[in-house]
Structures are given as C-alpha cells and as structure tokens.
Amino acid sequence: MHFHHHGYVSGDPRVQPAAGVGIDRPTQLPDEVDVLIVGTGPAGMLAAAQLSQFPGVTTRIVERRAGRLAIGQADGIQARSVETFQAFGFAERIIAEAYRITEMAFWKPDPQNPSKIVRSARTLDDPGGISEFPHLIVNQARVLDYFGEFMANAPSRMAPDYGYEFVGLEVGEGEYPVSVTLLRTSGPDEGQTRTVRAKYVVGADGARSRVRASIGCTMAGDQANHAWGVMDVLANTDFPDIRLKCAIQSHDGGSILLIPREGGHLFRMYVDLGEVPADDNGAVRKTTIEQIIAKANAIIHPYTLDVRNVAWHSVYEVGHRLTDRFDDVLPEDLGTRTPRVFITGDACHTHSAKAGQGMNVSMQDGFNIGWKLGHVLEGRSPESLLSTYSAERQVVAKNLIDFDKAWSTLMAKKPEEFENPSELEDFYVRTAEFPAGFMTEYSPSMIVAEATHQNLATGFPVGKRFKSAPVVRVCDTNPVQLGHQAAADGRWRIYVFADGAAPGQSAAAPSPAADLGAWLSTAPDSPLAATPEGADSDAWFDVKVVYQQDHTGIDIGAVPTVFKPEVGPFKLAYLEKVYGTDPEADIFELRGIDRGGAVVVVRPDQYVANVLPLTATAELAAFFAPLLRSGNRAPELQDHAG
C-alpha cells in the first residue's frame, strides 16, 4: 500500500486525502452532476466506486430504498470478481468472512434403490488452477458494504443518496443534456419530485429497469418455462454434504442445487418446482415456503431436512433475456453521436441464478463503464471511448446467457434423460473457466489492439484479463503477485518485460528495455507526455518493469527513472515498480514471454489491450494517440497506490 509520500500518515492508510468534489462534498443531491447512477446493486456500486477515484468528476448514486441492502439475493462470487476486489483493496477481508468452495459433490438416485439418493462423484472446483483466487459465497449486501467503504474513503468521499426513485428521463442539449425526474421515497419531503440534470446517466436499476424503458431498449429471449424455489435457511439435517456445494438429482422428485453460505450454518437451496404450464398465469409464484421445504425433503430422501429458521425465500421462473443495446444510441444513429445513457447488470441481461453469474457479470459491466466515464469527463480521452461499452458488454452477456441455458437445462433434466450418467459433472469441469469469469475476450477496437505480436507473450492474450504471476520486488525483496499491485485507480498499466540485459550491464548493444524507458520519459509522442503538468509522472500511466534476473542480480540504482517515478510534493522516488523473477516460478516461463522482452499494455479494468516488442515505440504511440487528449481542465489527481 502506497502512502506517506505527502507526509506522515498516522491513521488508516486506506482513507485517501479528500480532493476535488470530496472537499466539502454537499450532503444533499445537487441539481447538476456529471454522472448520475441509478441503483445501488453490484453494477451501480462498482461503477460508483471506480468513479470515486476521479475527484474532478461529480458522481452521485441514487437508490429508492431508505438505506443499505440488508439481505441480498445474489451470493456467488467467482474468482474473477475476487480478483476485482483485490484491485479495490478488500479481497483479503471478504475472503476471511466468506464460504470458500473447493469441491462440488454430485448426488443421484441409488441404482439399487432409486427412491434414495447416493453421492456419485466429487469434482474440484478449480481443477486446472485457473486462478490464484478462490470461489466464494457471501451475502451480496456485504459486497455492497465493501464498495461503499471504498467510496467513502476515496478522494471524492462518495456515498449513496438513499430515498430517491427514478421516474423518467429526457435527453436534450447543453452541458447537462440528460434531465432526470426523481421521486422522494423517504424523508421529510417524501412524495415530492425533483429534477436533476446530468451529463451521463448509468441505469443499474434491475430487471424491471425504468432507465431501460426510458431509452426504448427492449428485452428479447426465451420465456420462462421452469420454476425454482430458493431459500436461505438454518436447519438440522442428516444429509452428509450439507456444507458442500452439491447438485442433487432425485429419481422423480426433481433436483436441488445446494449452496452453503458463510458463517458455518446458513445454506441456500434451489429447489426444482418443475415445468410451468403455459396457462399458469403466475400461480407457481404463490408456492409457500412450507411447500418448498416439503419438496426439498422429497428430493433428498432418505435424508431429512428440519428447517429451524428461514432468512429469505422466493420463487422464480427461469428466463433468458437480453436487450438489443446497452446505451441510448439507436442502431440507425451509430457513429453519428456518442451515448449519454447506459444500462448495466440485470437491466440488460437476465438469466437463472444457478450459474452464479448475475452479480459477477454485472460488476464487470460497472467496471467497464466506470473508468471510461472517468477518462472522458476528466479530459483524458475523447467521447468516442464511451461507444465501446455497449459493443463490448453485450457480447459478454450473450455468451453468459448461452452458457446459462446449457447449465440450467442440465440441472432440470431427470437422471434417466442423460445419455451419459456423468454428463452433468463433466460439463461442470469442462466449462470451469467460464463460470470463474475468465472467458471474456474483447474484440479489437480503439482500446484493444490486433494481436499482431501475441507470440511475444502467449500467456497474456490480447482482449482477455491480465493473468497474474509471481515476481519478486527488488527494493524490499518481497515475493508478490504482479497483478495484485494494480489498484482500481483508473490508470492504464504498461508492463515492460525486459530483455536479458540487467540494468546498467555493459553490453555491445544498448538494452531495448533501457531504450524504451528513455523514450517513455522524454519522447513527445510517449503516452506519458499527455500527463497534466504538475501531476505526478505516473498519474495517468503506471509503468512497471520485470527483469529476467532474480532480485540479487538487479542494481536498482541503474534502473531507468521512468520505473522509479518521483511522486508527491516532496518528489520522493517510488521504488516498488521494479521486479525480478521468482526463482520458483519464472513469470517469463509461466506466461510465455519472449526472452527478447515484450511490452504488455493493460486497461484500467485489468484487460490486456496490446502486446508489443520493446522496440515498437511508434506502435505504442499510435495505439494511445486516439485515446489521449491534453486535458482541457487540470484534473484533481488522487494519490495512487502505485
């Protein structure tokens, strides 16, 4: 964690100094804002948390509830989300309180007595070592709490504005072209409406999104035809795997997906209620908790379930629906204007809960749009950057729905309908990378280059998330994960994987890594040249170097200055951006990095944007040229974690 560079810090270093709009932040919702986020669900809170790192941008997030969410419906946290939490600084704490999934058990009818179920298989949750982060189960409300804490500690001192319900919006002209009507749902002025004008609006207001309706987006897809009862309960049972994630299939009673919850006692059951008749007219939603419990007992026979307390329950019908677009630009207007209104999460994609993807994919929606809005509003990037949001995230949502259709169909099958008895567990293992959140691969665009030089770093596929690996920090000899050193601070990352020469090592030919370092520091077409005057040299770009030697073979005094930027008012050299290889796990070998070196460019949301040779300064300059513009206002720059 990076602090003390502005002077001695005796308090909690996670609390960043207030800056910009965070200084004397008004408690009341202003009449004019840069970004108005509607809804404090996972997508909205992550977008707000990312924007809280841009204190020159006025962002407010409104919620119709009077206060924080108490009980969340989502609970599955995939490894990609935990990786994201690491960037926001709370992965370790949420891991400590969460339930960790390491195995999944599969139960089927006993071949000798089909009226009973028996355990048929166990599979590792991450058999291939997809991530160093675990698969967790934790209440959605706690995830939102952590993002709320991050926002409150950020330079902008952001906090949700509770008690405001979105009514409608109109997009017009002017500096604040989006006019939003809100209804007060709590407080002394309850029942009154007011208007807030915004430059941009982000709708994170759920499956029944009014923001979606206000921009004319339509949901299309399969109608619901299968119902499930879901319950979070405290119970005594003789079922032996009650603390394991389980897929349970009975002979004729249906299926259960069992998800243990955090705390050691609570667990969730998705209980199969069967096909929904076309003329049901919603009757299945009236299924009582007593009926769900009875159904669960029938499925797990010969075991019994004695429910002592019900924390929450619901009935839902599986449907798979996707919007035609994720912003307010109509198809016929593409390329003629940039969007002003965006929708995220359940507002644009709905599916079953059993793949554990809803909250996870929604958070990546928020991450994607958050940094882009920050860059545009702070003057770093042109408005055209915002058009990449819908183009990128709609494809991801379509892939999610396709996956969930396959998984939920398998879960609803009767055992005798499977051609292969192990089909369910085989699918679970075979597709592990998708539900872990690591199959997203963005196509070439203004922020994703063509993979022309992919052979230089085969383990960092262009368009996919940057997969961490061990390195050793030279200045303090600490072994660390390289990817974990990147905070969600809105900066681009430029990772320089050096050629074989150690820094300062005399050689017949100059070192390409040293030459690149000099170019980054001094060239007028270097992306770092766009950094505003007076800001730290690493304010917009976090440049790190990894040498092929171990830490004992690296003279940090000979390392180019671009990798040791002077930061803060005292211009202190920051030494924690210089790394050597870990003798036990050489990152060059692990990630297929050419021994001649490579540059890996990573977006603020952790996706690889480009892979280049160390000598390709013209290509690096050309990649960033359309993304950078000299700031038309000097941003209030935050203190970065380095």
**DSSP 8-state symbol, 253:** S
Q: What does the pLDDT read at residue 329? A: 94
Instruction: Indicate the residue type of 85.
Output: F
Residue 637 clears pLDDT 60, i.e. is over it: no
**Which SS3 state, helix, strand or coil, does residue 553 take?**
helix
Q: Work out the number of other CB atoms within 10 angstroms of the CB of residue 507.
A: 11
CA distance 602 to 591: 15
Please indicate whether residue 403 or residue 470 has the higher confidence score (pLDDT). Answer: 470
Q: What does the pLDDT read at residue 1? A: 84
Q: What does the pLDDT read at residue 428? A: 65
% of the chain surpassing 70 pLDDT:
93
CA distance 619 to 612: 8
Does residue 117 belong to any structural domain of this protein?
A: yes
Segments forming the whole domain that contains residue 272:
101-132+224-318
Residue 619 clears pLDDT 50, i.e. is over it: yes
Residue linked to tokens 């050193």: 485
Does residue 21 belong to any structural domain of this protein?
A: no
Instruction: Indicate the residue type of 517.
Output: G
* Cis peptide bond N-terminal to 302, omega within 30: yes
Residues 270 and 294 in one domain: yes
Q: For the segment 37-74, what is each residue's pLDDT rounded down to a tens digit? A: 999 999 999 999 999 999 999 999 999 999 998 877 77
The predicted model gives 237-245 an average pLDDT of 97
| CATH number of 82's domain | 3.50.50.60
Residue 180 in contact with residue 196, Cβ under 8 Å? Answer: yes
Which of 404, 431, 466 lies at the terminal end of a domain, its last residue?
Answer: 404
Does residue 10 belong to any structural domain of this protein?
A: no
Residue 524 burial (C-beta neighbours within 10 Å; 0-12, 13-18, 19+)? exposed
Which of 267, 295, 318 lies at the terminal end of a domain, its last residue?
Answer: 318
Residue of 536, 546, 532 whose CA lies nearest to 600:
546
Does residue 411 belong to any structural domain of this protein?
A: no
Residues 188, 190, 191, 195, Cα dihedral to 10°: 90
Residue 25 burial (C-beta neighbours within 10 Å; 0-12, 13-18, 19+)? middle
Q: For the segment 98-157, what is each residue's pLDDT rounded down to a tens digit? A: 999 999 999 999 999 999 999 999 998 887 778 899 999 998 999 999 999 999 999 999
Residues 461 and 536 in one domain: yes
User: Radius of gyration of the chain from Cα atoms?
Assistant: 26
Residue 104: C-alpha distances to residues 132, 258, 412, 449 (Å): 18, 10, 17, 38
Residues 142 and 291 in one domain: no
Does residue 389 belong to any structural domain of this protein?
A: yes
Which of 288, 318, 348 lies at the terminal end of a domain, its last residue?
Answer: 318
Q: For the segment 488-527, what is each residue's pLDDT rounded down to a tens digit? A: 999 999 999 999 999 987 655 679 999 999 999 999 999 9
| DSSP class per residue in 28-48 | SPPSEEEEEEE--SHHHHHHH
Does residue 572 belong to any structural domain of this protein?
A: yes
Residues 609 and 568 in one domain: yes
Angle in degrees, 0-180, between the axes of helices 42-51 and 140-153, rounded to the nearest 10:
20
Please, which residues have CB within 8 angstroms of residue 437's CB and are 6 or more apart in sequence?
Answer: 78, 79, 80, 81, 83, 360, 361, 364
Does residue 370 belong to any structural domain of this protein?
A: yes
Residues 174 and 216 in one domain: yes
| CATH number of 263's domain | 3.30.9.10
Residues 76 and 166 in one domain: yes
CA distance 450 to 317: 41
Q: What does the pLDDT read at residue 635? A: 42
Residues 80 and 154 in one domain: yes
Residue 301 clears pLDDT 80, i.e. is over it: yes
Residues 486 and 581 in one domain: yes
CA distance 605 to 372: 10
Instruction: Indicate the residue type of 168.
Output: G
Q: Work out the number of other CB atoms within 10 angstroms of the CB of residue 11.
A: 7
Residue 358 in contact with residue 74, Cβ under 8 Å? Answer: yes
The predicted model gives 626-637 an average pLDDT of 57
Q: What does the pLDDT read at residue 631? A: 39
Q: For the segment 372-383, what is each residue's pLDDT rounded down to a tens digit? A: 999 999 999 999
Residues 383 and 473 in one domain: no
CA distance 232 to 490: 37
Residues 40 and 157 in one domain: yes
Q: Which two tokens stand for residue 424?
A: 């369910």
Residues 167 and 212 in one domain: yes
Domain count, the chain: 3
Residue 434 clears pLDDT 90, i.e. is over it: no
Please indicate whether residue 562 or residue 227 has the higher confidence score (pLDDT). Answer: 562
Given CA atoms 348, 351, 353, 357 in this order, what sign does their dihedral have? negative
Please, which residues have CB within 8 angstroms of residue 332's CB and are 6 or more apart in sequence?
Answer: none
Q: What does the pLDDT read at residue 406? A: 73
Q: What does the pLDDT read at residue 509? A: 66
**Which SS3 state, helix, strand or coil, does residue 292 take?**
helix
Residues 311 and 383 in one domain: no
Does residue 57 belong to any structural domain of this protein?
A: yes
Q: What does the pLDDT read at residue 642? A: 41
Per the DSSP assignment, residues forming a β-bridge with 275 are: 226
Please, which residues have CB within 8 angstroms of residue 510's CB and are 6 or more apart in sequence?
Answer: none
CA distance 161 to 149: 14
Residue of 566, 563, 559, 567 whose CA lies nearest to 577:
563
Q: For the segment 457-492, what is each residue's pLDDT rounded down to a tens digit? A: 999 999 999 999 999 999 999 999 999 999 999 999
CA distance 102 to 402: 25
Mean predicted lDDT score pLDDT of the chain: 91
Q: Which two tokens stand for residue 1?
A: 């964690």
Residue linked to tokens 């841009």: 54
